[in-house]
Structure 1
């Protein structure tokens, strides 16, 4: 009974790694989705500035 079942240990480690990866992906997705509106606002401001500069030149 004291013998370590290596196949069970490997199985448990694989599933632990899978759970950690899933959790990391969820955190990454939430952070990316929360940053997107701010990034879009910055891009829109830059486009407006370029557009105004272009109208001044013409």
Structure 2
């Protein structure tokens, strides 16, 4: 930031952004449950994205 103004445009896609990629409480619990069930990481991510179409969470 320079003088209180951003020196770049807002990214069109927030994929990979730390705040945008955070999991909500119920999503965290879903990850815990699926991990205990020995689900593969890609299957967990696919499940999260199916339940929340706006999710930009990455592995």
Say which structure, 1 or 2, has more relative contact order (CA 8 Å, 6+ apart): 2
Q: Which has the larger radius of gyration?
A: 1
TM-score of the pair, normalised by structure 1:
0.28
Structure holding more helix per residue: 1
TM-score of the pair, normalised by structure 2:
0.28
